[in-house]
């Protein structure tokens, strides 16, 4: 089973993989750059080589990168669109060198212009920056539907990918907190939700799972992560998610509050659930 968490890369990639291993993880997520945006440090080739060697030695799973929050693919502002395109191009190039498998991106916010306009802008922007020949796959994340967020239904994600003209180039990262808050009842109707995902997107599109409990309830359209078992989803729902036959081999990544100590505790809980499941 692939279990991991969101880890800091501020001391390099080899150190990040070591940190992940130290909390019992065998996969990880990291921000490609400061989540609030900003410049990136030059890549250290020595560090990348050591990171790859360590991953091989430890049979470490996928590296999942997360794009910064400051970009917005659905923006109606040219400067933001230009910034977003530059970040995605740079990040895809860097991630290929690092050997990362996925780049997770929030579809974006339509800024009051409506979901349809947002979908059009996201697809047009992706078409400019993704060719479909990349080794790194862009994953669109399922959103809670807060404010003017786009991408909180499976249909919206399908439309975005179709409109790029190269849907094979994209995958989806689901987030248990976002799904629940968007109105997908993964607590009581996990089978039905996954069947719906399969019908609309195809389960082969589902490449990664953000594992979070939720401070808010079903269809609340709010996005606040809680520690596993301390939110409204609860441990039993989480247990069913990680053991569901259709998705149990995907990388499960914690984005819960509390830092490394907490991740370690939650990964232990997940491993116990796995043994029982």
Residues 108-167 that bind Zn ion (CB under 5 A): 141
**HSE on the CB side for 123, CA within 13 Å?**
19
Pick the closest to residue 146 from 170, 186, 189, 175 (CA basis): 175
DSSP string for 229-267: TSSSS-HHHHHHHHH-TTTTTS-EEE--SSHHHHHHHHH
Shortest distance, CB of residue 104 to Zn ion, whole angstroms? 6
Shortest distance, CB of residue 49 to Zn ion, whole angstroms? 29
Burial class (CB within 10 angstroms; exposed 0-12, middle 13-18, buried 19+) of 201:
buried
Shortest distance, CB of residue 265 to Zn ion, whole angstroms? 22
Shortest distance, CB of residue 7 to Zn ion, whole angstroms? 15
Number of residues that bind Zn ion (CB under 5 A): 1
Residues 27-56 that bind Zn ion (CB under 5 A): none
- Determine the Cα–Cα distance for residues 120 and 74; give it in Å rounded to an integer: 8
Shortest distance, CB of residue 50 to Zn ion, whole angstroms? 28
Nearer to Zn ion, 14 or 184 (CB): 184
- DSSP secondary structure code for residue 205 in this structure: G
Nearer to Zn ion, 105 or 193 (CB): 105
Nearer to Zn ion, 165 or 257 (CB): 257
Q: Give the residue closest to Zn ion by C-beta.
A: 141
Binding site for Zn ion (CB under 5 A): 141
């Amino acid at each position: 089973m692939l279990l991991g968490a969101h880890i800091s890369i501020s001391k390099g990639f080899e150190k990040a993989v070591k940190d992940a291993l130290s909390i019992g993880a065998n996969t990880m997520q990291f921000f490609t750059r400061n989540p609030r945006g900003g410049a990136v440090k030059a890549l250290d080739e020595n560090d990348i080589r050591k990171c790859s060697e360590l991953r091989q030695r430890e049979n470490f799973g996928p590296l999942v990168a997360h794009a910064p929050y400051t970009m917005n693919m659905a923006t109606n502002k040219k400067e933001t669109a230009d910034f977003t395109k530059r970040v995605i191009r740079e990040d895809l190039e860097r991630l290929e060198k690092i050997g990362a498998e996925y780049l997770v991106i929030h579809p974006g916010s339509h800024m009051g212009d409506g979901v349809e306009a947002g979908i059009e802008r996201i697809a047009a922007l992706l078409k400019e920056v993704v060719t479909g020949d990349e080794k790194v796959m862009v994953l669109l994340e399922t959103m809670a539907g807060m404010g003017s967020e786009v991408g909180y239904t499976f249909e919206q994600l399908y439309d975005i990918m179709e409109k790029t003209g190269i849907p094979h180039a994209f995958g989806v990262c689901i987030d248990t907190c976002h799904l629940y808050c968007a109105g997908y009842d993964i607590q009581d109707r996990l089978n039905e939700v996954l069947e719906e995902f399969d019908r609309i997107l195809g389960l082969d599109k589902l490449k990664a799972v953000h594992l979070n409990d939720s401070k808010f309830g079903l269809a609340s359209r709010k996005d606040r992560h809680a520690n596993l078992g301390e939110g409204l989803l609860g441990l039993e729902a989480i247990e069913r998610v990680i053991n569901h036959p259709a998705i149990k081999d995907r990388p499960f990544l914690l984005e819960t509050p509390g830092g490394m100590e907490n991740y370690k505790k939650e990964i232990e809980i997940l491993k116990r659930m796995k043994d029982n499941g």
